[in-house]
Amino acid sequence: MLKCHDVTELVSKGLDTKLGGWTRLKVSLHVFICKNCQRYQKQLNVLQGTFYRIEKVSEHIVLSSDAKQRISKILEKEINK
């Protein structure tokens, strides 16, 4: 019988690699009857998903004009080498 602590580690591991069939089944059964582990799994999935949305919500972050100027000069030098 898996403990909640084991389940949280396996839920995370399952995001990174494919779990074995038997382990997957044990995790699913535990999550089915344990409210906290169910929420934990859902929340890790939400967090995992947010990484793919970061691009969408970070468009306000841009290179400063100073950095652009500096890079521009370096590239000019590189071209005229």
Binding residues (CB under 8 A) for another protein: these are 3-6, 8-9, 12-13, 15-17, 35-37, 39-40, 42-44, 46-63, 67-68, 70-72, 74-76, 78-80
For residue 40, give the 3-state DSSP assignment: helix
Q: Is 65 in a helix, a strand, or coil? A: helix
Minimum distance of another protein from residue 43's CB (angstroms): 5
* 21 vs 56 by CB, closer to another protein: 56
By the 8 A CB rule, do 7 and 31 touch?
A: yes
Choose between 22 and 79: whose C-beta lies nearer to another protein: 79
CA distance 18 to 9: 13
CA 27 to chain centre: 20
* Residue 72 token pair: 């521009």
**Residue 37 beta carbon to another protein: minimum distance, rounded to whole angstroms:** 8
CB nearer to another protein: pick between 33 and 56:
56
